Amino acid sequence: MTDNFDGRKIIMTSLVGSFSANLNTPESDRDYKYFITPTFDDLYTNFMYSNAYLSSYLDYDVHDVRKLTELLWNSNLNFIGALFHIESIDKDFSFIEDAADALATMNLPRFYQSTIGMHTEKMSKLNKGTGTTQALVDKFGYDTKQACHAMRCLFVLRRIASGMTVREALWFEGKEREILIGIKAGNQDRNEFCEYVDLWRNVNGKAIKEWFDEQKAIEEVKTWFDLRIKQAVGIKLGIKL
């Protein structure tokens, strides 16, 4: 694997997706997020490089590390998960790994909104197969991979509201893992799955939302992190700040 994208050095590589949640099956591909340093021209023109690749065995996307503060503040489940499965990181950016737990919880109200939004999006796509999941729709009548991800979102929210750390909540073992793997395997038909989701949300949804509504975003962590990213980028480019 390359150590750069178009001359932009990779400073952090994170495993995401099913392998990072212990929900992988023999058919699962590996998903990675790469974060790169900008070039001087990128800084001068305020250009944010990005890239992506999809295949049957490997998916990845690439982001300018300057975007990481915003991405974590917006609390997308996949970017939060990237904090806990870092496979390699440049020493000048090691503070990211050291502060992973604080970064994951710096905007819990937004985490709830983002994760519920992801759940809703996944539910809306149950009938729409992709290039890699159309076979599931043909076999089971709906996209069981999307269904698994939709239910995972709800489980993660309940786990955090019940006292788990974000790190713990994103890793599945035991009964909930069995349920999610079973959903992915098509153990329920579409109607049974949707009824299960509706019942689950009726029983758990109100209490979970109330817990997250009580949480506060921590602006100080965001400000600190943004400054550290700025300083580390400066070091890499030889710019005195």
Query: Is 127's pLDDT higher than 70?
Result: yes
Nearest to 207 by CA among 130, 154, 165, 129: 154
Report d(CA 157, CA 114) in Å as an integer: 11
Mean pLDDT of all residues in 159-165: 97
Query: Are residues 209 and 222 located together in one domain of the fold?
Result: no
Residue 53's pLDDT band, with cuts at 50, 70 and 90, is confident
pTM: 0.92
Query: Are residues 18 and 87 located together in one domain of the fold?
Result: yes
Query: Are residues 101 and 8 located together in one domain of the fold?
Result: yes
Q: 33 phi and psi, to 5 degrees?
A: -120, 130
Query: Are residues 113 and 183 located together in one domain of the fold?
Result: yes
Query: Are residues 72 and 10 located together in one domain of the fold?
Result: yes
Query: Are residues 150 and 65 located together in one domain of the fold?
Result: no
Which tokens go with 58?
A: 């490997």
Mean pLDDT of all residues in 94-104: 97
Query: Are residues 47 and 166 located together in one domain of the fold?
Result: no
Query: Are residues 138 and 170 located together in one domain of the fold?
Result: yes
End-to-end alpha carbon distance in the chain: 32
DSSP state of 54: E
pLDDT per position as a tens digit, 4-44: 899 999 999 999 989 999 999 888 888 999 999 999 999 99
Q: Please check whether residue 60 is in contact with residue 31, taking contact to mean a CB–CB distance below 8 angstroms.
A: yes
The more confidently predicted of residues 132 and 72 is 72
Mean pLDDT of all residues in 210-217: 97
Query: Are residues 169 and 114 located together in one domain of the fold?
Result: yes
Q: Please check whether residue 93 is in contact with residue 11, taking contact to mean a CB–CB distance below 8 angstroms.
A: yes
Contacts 24+ apart (CB under 8 A), 24-29: 25/181, 25/184, 25/185, 29/55, 29/56, 29/57, 29/58, 29/59, 29/132
Query: Are residues 94 and 175 located together in one domain of the fold?
Result: no
What CATH number should be reported for the domain holding residue 24?
3.30.460
Predicted confidence at residue 208, as pLDDT, reads: 98
Residue 105's pLDDT band, with cuts at 50, 70 and 90, is very high
Query: Are residues 82 and 133 located together in one domain of the fold?
Result: no
Query: Are residues 181 and 116 located together in one domain of the fold?
Result: yes
Report d(CA 135, CA 210) in Å as an integer: 39
Predicted confidence at residue 2, as pLDDT, reads: 74
Query: Is 128's pLDDT higher than 90?
Result: no
Predicted confidence at residue 130, as pLDDT, reads: 75
pLDDT per position as a tens digit, 60-86: 899 999 999 999 999 999 999 999 999
Residue 56's pLDDT band, with cuts at 50, 70 and 90, is low
Q: Determine the length of the chain.
A: 241
Total domains in the chain come to 2
In percent, the amount of the chain with pLDDT more than 70 equals 98
Lowest mean pLDDT among 49-58, 93-102, 203-212: 49-58
Domain of residue 194 covers 108-213
Report d(CA 97, CA 118) in Å as an integer: 25
Residue 46's pLDDT band, with cuts at 50, 70 and 90, is very high
Predicted confidence at residue 132, as pLDDT, reads: 72
Report d(CA 196, CA 219) in Å as an integer: 37
